[in-house]
Amino acid sequence: MNNKRKLLIYGATGYTGKIITARAKALNLDFEIAGRSEDKIKAMARELNIPYHIFTVDDSKAWERALTDKQVLINAAGPFLLTAELAMNACLDAGVHYLDISAELDTYRLAESLDDKARVAGIQLISGAGLFVSYDALVVHLSKLVVKPEYLKVGFRHYGGFSRGSVLSSKNIADLGILIRKNGEILNNPHPRSKVFSFGEEAVECMPTPLGGIILSYKATGIPNIEEFFSLKLPATELSDLTNENLPDGPTKEERAAGRNGIAAEITGKDGTVVKAYVDAPSGYDLTPLSVVAVAHRILNNDFKIGYQSPGSAYGEEIIKDIPDTHLIDIRQPTQTFL
Ligand SMILES: NC(=O)c1ccc[n+]([C@@H]2O[C@H](COP(=O)([O-])OP(=O)(O)OC[C@H]3O[C@@H](n4cnc5c(N)ncnc54)[C@H](OP(=O)(O)O)[C@@H]3O)[C@@H](O)[C@H]2O)c1
């Protein structure tokens, strides 16, 4: 019998980690928390009455102990450039499925590079199981509506400001330049131009920004040409002072509840057919916890695919139904008439 039925949340006391932990508690999942800051972890464990582990991310012995009876890890400790590799290796060693909420493309590439090891270890390895759960679901949905999908364009309208962790991580995205996928290869876009996307009632001009679909949605669909756009400038490019202490924690619960996130996508098939749809979802710092816990929940019910995966390659479009208050809406094209 498989006794490994538990979830571990590392980085549980961060801004997003706290919301993830609250969601796991609300769903009554069997989970424990972990992190490097003793006072914060003990206080949270006391408040929620759950077991805890205190260790730095480079402590392999502590990982071994913490993961011993676990089925899945959610790594919420970002910037992930500093934590993902060590946490992924710990999961590979322990045979525990790995999820994180990274928005950093380099950790997606890292997960991709560990595909063989993940298969040998029998684990599912997903970096980017936050925003990309609904993002990938949308792309997979549209990709089935055309014959031979050739071009994908995605616009992301973010609401709710940025947390400290997101500001710091956004530097790791901005430093990469404007990456796109062209004919199957990732390269810098020599002529980046903004594009207007429709999110239902609202049309928003979005700026070329690599969000990660060039890796994750490529994994999910194999579409060879992918460009991504964002409604805002990446926060690291706007702020002159990226000192940890000077950054705000993140939006309040009321601020998060006051708006919605939108993800709009269009796919062009080989015959020129264009299909469009969008996702209407809770704002970012509510959506990501709902999404990553939905994936963990699936794994706890033995629903996973071993190896490096994206949310879409593992779960397709159906998982969007697991995310509360999140809707996929097809945009009907005006019927063309030829006189
Ligand atoms: N794409 C998405 O869907 C999405 C949405 C939300 C957040 N995120 C990402 O999630 C990450 C966390 O954001 P946040 O808002 O929760 O930030 P935060 O409030 O600053 O929390 C970061 C957490 O990570 C821990 N941590 C940071 N560096 C660490 C290290 N080297 N070793 C061990 N623990 C470390 C911190 O521990 P201490 O408290 O001990 O410092 C804290 O618990 C960011 O990278 C952000 O981009 C992604």
pLDDT of residue 246: 73
Residue 270 and residue 168 share a domain? yes
Residue among 18, 20, 36, 167 whose CB has most ligand 1 atoms within 8 A, to mutate: 36
* Domain count within the chain: 2
Residue among 83, 166, 167 whose CB has most ligand 1 atoms within 8 A, to mutate: 166
Residue 162 and residue 68 share a domain? no
Ligand 1 atom closest to 40 (CA): 39
pLDDT of residue 3: 58
pLDDT tens by residue, 161-195: 899 999 999 999 999 999 999 999 999 999 999 99
- DSSP for 18-72? HHHHHHHHHTT--EEEEES-HHHHHHHHHHHT--EEE--TT-HHHHHHHHTTEEE
Distance 338 CA to ligand 1 centre (A): 55
Bridge pairing between strands 6-10 and 70-75: parallel
Domain of 299: which CATH number? 3.40.50.720
CA–CA dist 218, 149 (Å, integer): 11
Residue 310 and residue 225 share a domain? no
What range defines the domain where residue 142 resides?
A: 132-286+321-331
pLDDT of residue 250: 94
pLDDT of residue 243: 72
Please report whether residue 1 resides in a domain: no
- Dig out the tokens for 237 from the structure: 């490019």
- Dig out the tokens for 104 from the structure: 């950093």
Residue 277 and residue 141 share a domain? yes
Q: Is the CB of 250 under 6 A from ligand 1?
A: yes
Positions in the chain short of pLDDT 70:
1-4, 242, 334-339
pLDDT tens by residue, 107-140: 999 999 999 999 999 999 999 999 999 999 999 9
Question: Among 84, 146, 124, 164, which residue's Cα sits nearest to residue 271?
Answer: 146
CA–CA dist 103, 119 (Å, integer): 24
Q: Is the CB of 234 under 6 A from ligand 1?
A: no
Residue 179 and residue 262 share a domain? yes
Domain of 165: which CATH number? 3.30.360.10
Residue 136 and residue 124 share a domain? no
Distance 333 CA to ligand 1 centre (A): 41
Residue 198 and residue 178 share a domain? yes
pLDDT of residue 336: 44
Residue 70 and residue 121 share a domain? yes
Distance 163 CA to ligand 1 centre (A): 9
pLDDT of residue 160: 85
Q: Is the CB of 210 under 6 A from ligand 1?
A: no
Residue 216 and residue 236 share a domain? yes
